[in-house]
Structure 1
């Protein structure tokens, strides 16, 4: 049973676990430092700002900085008295609106000033009213009472600022480590995906458009990158932050913190519901996106045909159909996301604040304990902070689901059976090729080749001819081990190809295709394919040997001339000469020419014929021929029809037989031309 997509994504994350763990430690430290802020603020408010509204005691003399001098008296907060202080009388500092009053006696903490007239102040507490002596304080008087608080406020605010700065340093390292780890994971995943693409058999590519495969290597891995780069960090950061906030809330008030815990199951349930629908929508979106890529790729490659046959409207219609499907499901995702993001979090935030007000309000109305301004501030601060990571987590749910679907598509490709690329050394072969009773079918029981037998000795040139679909290219595909036969065996120098790795089989075999592929780069890089074993001198010698120097040396940069995509600046014949030079530079023991002269003009054919003679020296050549004039000097010509060998012999022998080969040759020469005497 294969592990789930989530588990496999997690396993990829473990490849960078060292840096991720260090990043998480930095995150926890940063969150811990940040969340001390409201506690510090609470202390500043309760102990040093609102804290002066308390009982003050007159003492005989000043012993420390906590004692102030006011109206000829030494006053000190009752909560800061020491054994050295000798008490004289009690006073209380009260606030009413914007005014402060110092009354000449101790009053209950829940007292409030009703009115003031000269030195008579009316206060109320516990449903009673009382007139007491006191004075109204001006700004400078009030500043005197604040003097002992200035130093600790500055120290606490300095501590707060210092913790924020230290937390920002840890946040930087956290972000750096997690981002670098995420990009490293994606680099590793893309390498794995591309490596698997190289290991896949040819029939995988036959059944799938190139655009769809490209989408998995690029678009899908990019979506997964967002998971590690942004989503993972957001979720981890959010959960650590929320955990820290709940710890702080429990330290402040366990009852209210317990009520706030209800947001966790609500968030979890919503994530499960979102996953259910978003996963379905995203599968369609990612699949349609691949089809769009495939459609664009096919349209660009086939644009000359599309325009020549006036199929632009039909092609546009097909594209619009795919684009419309993509739009419809994107709209469904938008609706789902819109219901999630700010709507969900705002609703939860509103419920939490209503619970907060109800809880403390009911306590006050019932005569329970009153909360201080500092506790109130800290709770509001923590509740506000609690919903910030929740908002970020909820907003990342669409990206999370995109990454999950993209991950499933990437792992589906990685699960395709391939063959490991192993660079095993193999001595140069002589070039002996034997097909022994070989039968082959691309699809089950639909045999393209039937009981094919032939033997090519080292150094011989053997040509294969036949009508389209006769099995010529299938023979070359089998020899190159792009496919393996269902019946019979293929041997090279007496070794069965099935006992060798595909790389060993191909190590000493070269190929020149009917439509040669030219890579982006330079003329020389197309010959060497950046193989260090092929020197510049060897590559230039190969180009000169096949006659390609005749047009290359007229180029501005000659052998270092830049080459565009598929060598579009060169003619078909020139590209073919480059592919011949490439084959010659690698010096294969066996060379396959797959209709290499089919698209060549008459003038270039002469160069190609000379190049073929150069290539034929010292190696076995298997030629799939369209033009029979190019294979007249072959050691043996094999004629195929519907997957079976019907004739064998040299050019002259086959003409004498007056069979299928004779008829093909006669058609190419033209009915008006006389067949030479044989």
Structure 2
């Protein structure tokens, strides 16, 4: 099991900031000790100055009382500032560790976790861990020390009163423990639901055009309302426990103070203490229950933090892309473009055990061969591409490139080997040139210009305000066809020997599709190409067609051979010609 990221981050911050650690320990001790002094001064004022009506040193005692209260405030302020600094440093350390983990996590993680849930772990869950230091565990420790100090101080006035106060502590502990268990369960559930709420918002924003186009606003709103209502009910449960806890503590405090007054009255005089001791005891009792009241909020923050820690550490324990050989270099794997041999060796893959997506795939692709994968939706074509690029690992079997397992190739080297073009071109904040280079410093300006010229976008980009340096701030700068051409430019700019084309002519009009296919035909002259085609009639010229059915290879051969021997292939070609004629 991987070590706790949160524990590692806390230890790293504490090791790097010894001065702040010492300051925090000093101020925590100062707050606890100094807060116990005012009741003692109050007792002295009443017993030695007010009851005997002796004004000597009354002013000094009063100033001392105010001065100690001032010191309590100073220590408290320094403590809060120190906790805030430490909390922010720990938050930064945790998020940095999570980002490092995100870069290493296995791609299968993203198949079962929506983006909103992952974002929630980086934001909400880490923020709750921060609150553990600013409003949680440190405050809880201080309050516990205060409670012990107060019980001892009261015991010094009266052993009987100290015993009564001590016997109250198990009752308070039982109450807080009960609420702690219930609140933890509710907080963990709340964190999960917050992730679902965030994910729904993210999905709605990403698909807003489709939602509006198909008049699905009401449907999305109903789903959002359902998730939000579940979240509200969970928060309501947490708030209920919190709101019930404080009144119970207040009622116990009132009963204890009333008991002290009655037992100290002239009629009973059971405790045998002076008037100053009674006043000091009442103040100490109030001080005793004040931290106990705070325990409710502190416990809530700690429960939120524990649920956040649990979810962050769950993420940190996710399987990583293991088996990467950092010594492998692209030029050593494929020293010459004419020497490419991609082999699928009895490859089987499943996302869930027992449900095979691909099964017993055996195939060999040679240098500059053009292979097209066809088949019904859901037969595993795109999964096969992810396996080919080493993004995911076969459940059994292997895929090798010139004898090297593709999964072992470092991600840094893969762009030099594989150029991937998908159906959608994802823009990000940056210039036109950076959309192609992806801010890879090893890719020169000349390579970007060459890639643009290859796909025929040089003139259009030159017409933009700043040419290649034009910032891309919205999707409307390029048409759908131009985005697909940019996607091809992005794939070929590093001049990889292998291109993977995933249904890139889907959703394009016939004229744009023809232009894309023309560019790809030109690219095919110097590359080994693997493509997925949703329309057989629009395939680029290929040497081999691989028909997939139910995760297996049903048939392979040249387009001409398959027209003769495969009924499914022949019927689909005929149907498409009839549809488009």
Tell whether the structures are fold-level matches, with TM greater than 0.5: yes
Residue 84 of structure 1: aligned partner: none
Structure 1-normalised TM-score?
0.73
CA 1:376–1:488 in structure 2 vs 1: closer, same or farther (change >3 Å)?
A: closer
Distance between the aligned counterparts of 1:368 and 1:379, measured in 2? Answer: 11
Q: 5 Å matches for 1:188-587? A: 188-341=93-246, 343-361=247-265, 365-366=268-269, 371-373=274-276, 375-419=277-321, 424-428=326-330, 429-430=333-334, 431-497=340-406, 500=409, 508-536=417-445, 538-564=447-473, 567=475, 569-587=477-495
Does the Cα contact within 8 Å between 2:389 and 2:407 map onto a contact in 1?
no
TM-superposed CA distance for 1:540, in Å, is 4.5
Report if aligned partners of 1:527, 1:539 keep a CA contact under 8 Å in 2. yes
Bigger drift between 10-19 and 182-191 goes to 10-19
Q: 1:585 and 1:502, CA in 2 relative to 1: closer, same or farther beyond 3 A?
A: closer
Q: Report the alpha carbon displacement of residue 672 of structure 1 after superposing the two structures with TM.
A: 9.0
Whole-angstrom CA distance in 1 between matches of 2:570 and 2:242: 72
Give secondary structure in 1 for the equivalent of 2:373: strand
User: Which deviations, in whole Å up to 9, do the C-alpha atoms of 1:377-429 show, x marking residues without a partner?
Assistant: 43333222222222111233333333333433333333332335968243223
- Quote the Cα distance in structure 2 between the aligned partners of 1:164 and 1:399: 27
In structure 2, the CA distance between the partners of 1:335 and 1:537, relative to structure 1 (3 Å rule), is: same
Q: 1:28: which partner in 2?
A: 29
Distance 1:517 1:176 in 2: 43
Q: 1: CA distance between counterparts of 2:60 and 2:450?
A: 81
CA deviations over 1:259-288 (Å, ceiling 9, x no partner): 222332222111221123223333443333
1:184 to 82, 89, 98: 89
Query: Per the alignment, do residues 306 and 8 of structure 1 end up closer, same or farther by CA in structure 2, a change over 3 Å counting?
Result: closer
Which structure carries more helix by proportion? 2
2:13 matches 1:16 = yes
CA RMSD of aligned residues (A): 3.6
Contact 1:215 1:290 in 2 (8 A): yes
Aligned-pair CA distance for 1:254: 4.0
1:56-89 deviation line (CA, Å, top 9, x unaligned): xxxxxxxxxxxxxxxxxxxxxxxxxxxxxxxxxx
Could you give the per-residue CA deviations for residues 306-341 of structure 1, whole angstroms, max 9, x where no partner exists?
444444434433333333333333333333222112
Distance 1:251 1:619, change over 3 A: farther
Between stretches 571-580 and 525-534, larger displacement belongs to 525-534
Bigger shift: 472-481 or 325-334? 325-334
Instruction: Tell me by how many angstroms 1:185 deviates.
Output: 2.4
Could you say if the C-alpha distance between residues 261 and 569 of structure 1 is closer, same or farther in structure 2, counting changes exceeding 3 Å? Answer: farther
Once the two structures are TM-superposed, the CA of residue 596 in structure 1 deviates from its matched residue by 1.7
Residue 194 of structure 1: CA displacement? Answer: 4.1
Write the distance in 2 (CA, Å) between the matches of 1:272 and 1:672.
72
**Alignment coverage as a number of residue pairs:** 569
Q: 1:608 aligns with which of 506, 510, 516?
A: 516
Residue 344 of structure 2 contacts residue 364 of structure 2 at CA under 8 Å; is this kept in 1?
yes
TM-score by length of 2: 0.84
Q: Give, in angstroms, the shift of residue 353 of structure 1.
A: 0.8
User: What is the Cα deviation at residue 612 of structure 1?
Assistant: 3.0
Measure, in 2, the Cα distance between the counterparts of 1:272 and 1:369: 35
CA distance in 2, matches of 1:232, 1:359: 36
Determine which structure has more spread, i.e. the larger CA radius of gyration.
1
1:480-505 CA deviation, whole Å, 9 max, x = no partner?
23333344331111113355566666
1:423–1:503 CA contact under 8 A, matched in 2: no
How far off its partner does 1:215 sit?
Answer: 2.8
- SS of the residue corresponding to residue 397 of structure 2 reads strand
Higher relative contact order (CA 8 A, sep 6+): 2
Per mean C-alpha deviation after superposition, the further-off stretch among 543-552 and 606-615 is 606-615
Following the alignment from structure 1 to structure 2, what is the Cα–Cα distance between the partners of residues 669 and 8?
58
- 1:235 offset after TM fit, Å? 1.3
Equivalent residues of 1:235, 1:393 under 8 A apart: yes
Gaps in structure 2 of 5+ consecutive residues: 335-339
Q: Is the 8 A contact 1:183 1:229 kept in 2?
A: no
